[in-house]
Amino acid sequence: MRNTELEKLSGLAGQWTTTLSDAWFLEPPGVEVTGATTIEWLGESFLLVRTELRAPTGGSELSMVIGRSDANDAYVVLYHDDRGVCRQFSMSFDGTRWTMSREDPDFHQRFIADVEPDRISGRWEVSEDRGETWRKDFDLTFERA
């Protein structure tokens, strides 16, 4: 039986065309990196998010597992990418706004997205001064395939 709070994430499940844009680290300015994202249920307790981006200089893959801690009344996200990076994010979702954040010693990071049935428009932001100031890392858009 699926948890009631996890069931609220059902609209995220599916196949998505993914576009990374407006990234400070991509040259030349204005370049976009496209790819695909699959979001699917892993049993009744988790959502598995797999993204593959196809950059001109090579691809990138990342995975996230979204779960829930009932005792803490909170969503939890575990992240891994092909660089070997592993991170844990707190998450919230109200049906139209999806956020993930972490406040780790290396830097703070957050994802803020507006969710529609066939489009998710989000941005990643970074703070290197423990959340005092934030800068946009990049935009990330998902369109239902």
Show me where the domains of the chain are located.
4-144
Tell me the per-residue pLDDT of 1-58, one tens digit each, with 9 for 90 and over: 888 999 999 999 999 999 999 999 888 888 899 999 999 999 999 999 999 999 766 7
pLDDT at residue 29 in the model: 86
Contacts of 38-47 with C-beta under 8 Å, sequence gap 24+, read 38/14, 39/12, 39/13, 39/14, 40/13, 41/13, 44/1, 44/2, 44/3, 44/6, 45/2, 45/3, 45/6, 46/6, 47/6, 47/9, 47/12, 47/13
pLDDT at residue 27 in the model: 84
Rg of the chain, C-alpha, whole Å: 15
Asked if pLDDT for residue 59 goes beyond 90, the answer is no
Asked if pLDDT for residue 67 goes beyond 70, the answer is yes
Please report, rounded to a whole number, the percentage of residues in the chain having pLDDT higher than 70: 99
Distance CA 68, CA 90 (A): 10
pLDDT at residue 57 in the model: 67
Return the CATH number of 4-144, one of 2.40.128.20, 3.40.50.1220, 2.70.98.90, 1.25.40.10: 2.40.128.20
